[in-house]
């Protein structure tokens, strides 16, 4: 439904206050990274963190094997591009800590909002002058090592497809249609009826 316009529109964005966006972010070459529940759980934790740091409203999401659907509303300081840049960079860095078996959390050439190692579950941010709760990467790292070993070659380094598709919501009917499309996207892709990674199962982080 939306993939055909992904590249054509991805560089032309409409920025405005109080706008709600439907967003699709895809993995590089449609790699099905999110068949692995460890990566799904990690992305949910990153989403929670980014929501606190970038202060956007989150109305719905659904994580599919090779892409993420979001329905969100940025605040006045951080526009949709800054929000998506944060989500994608933070997750890429931390996922590659697991994939490349780097227990120190230092991945060359990976950027993020907080440059220091975040393995221990909290981090002081100089930008915000406060402490944020972080995904506990040591826990994710242990699960990953237990499942794949320390020298795994099954999963390539994580990478998102460049840019993302976005659609500005136009009215209540448009919002309702895109909300349903977002939260029930797993049905379209014939995933299990009890698919965990939709916002229907994470009401605590939904506005």
Q: Give the model's pLDDT for residue 2.
A: 43
Residue with tokens 């078996």: 101
3-state SS of 5-54 is: HHHHHCCCCCCCCCCCEEEEEEEHHHCCHHHCHHHHHHHHHHHHHHHHHH
Q: What angle do CA 53, 30, 191 make, to 5 degrees?
A: 85
CA 200 to chain centre: 16
Residue 157 has pLDDT above 70, yes or no: yes
DSSP state of 122: E
Residue 100's pLDDT is: 87
- pLDDT tens by residue, 86-144: 999 989 988 998 898 754 444 444 444 444 444 445 555 555 555 555 557 778 888 99
144, 128, 167: which is closest to 50 by C-alpha? 128
pLDDT number for residue 196: 97
70: tokens are 């979001």
pLDDT tens digit sequence for 175-206: 999 999 999 999 999 999 999 999 999 999 99
Average pLDDT, the chain: 83
pTM for this entry: 0.81
Which CATH fold topology does 3-10+19-205 show? Answer: Alpha-Beta Plaits (3.30.70)
Per DSSP, the residues of 149-192 read -SS--SSPPP-BPSS-EEEE--SHHHHHHHHHHHHTHHHHTT--
Domain boundaries, the chain: 3-10+19-205
Element (H, E) at 60: strand 57-64
């Amino acid at each position: 439904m939306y993939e055909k316009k992904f590249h054509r529109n991805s560089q032309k964005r409409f920025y405005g206050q109080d706008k709600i966006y439907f967003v699709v972010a895809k993995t590089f070459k449609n790699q099905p990274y999110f068949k692995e529940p460890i990566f799904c759980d990690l992305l949910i934790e990153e989403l929670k963190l980014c929501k606190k740091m970038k202060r956007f409203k989150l109305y719905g999401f659904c994580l599919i094997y090779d892409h993420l659907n979001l329905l969100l509303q940025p605040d006045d300081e951080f526009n949709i591009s800054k929000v998506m840049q944060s989500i994608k960079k933070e997750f890429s860095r931390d996922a590659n800590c697991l994939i490349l078996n780097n227990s120190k959390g230092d991945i060359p050439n990976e950027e993020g909002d907080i440059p220091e190692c975040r393995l221990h579950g909290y981090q002081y941010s100089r930008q915000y002058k406060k402490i944020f709760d972080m995904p506990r990467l040591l826990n994710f790292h242990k699960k990953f090592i237990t499942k794949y070993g320390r020298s795994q070659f099954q999963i390539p380094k994580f990478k998102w497809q460049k840019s993302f598709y976005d659609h500005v919501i136009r009215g209540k009917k448009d919002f309702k249609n895109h909300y349903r499309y977002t939260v029930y996207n797993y049905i379209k892709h014939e995933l299990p009826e009890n698919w965990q990674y939709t916002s229907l199962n994470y009401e605590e982080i939904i506005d």
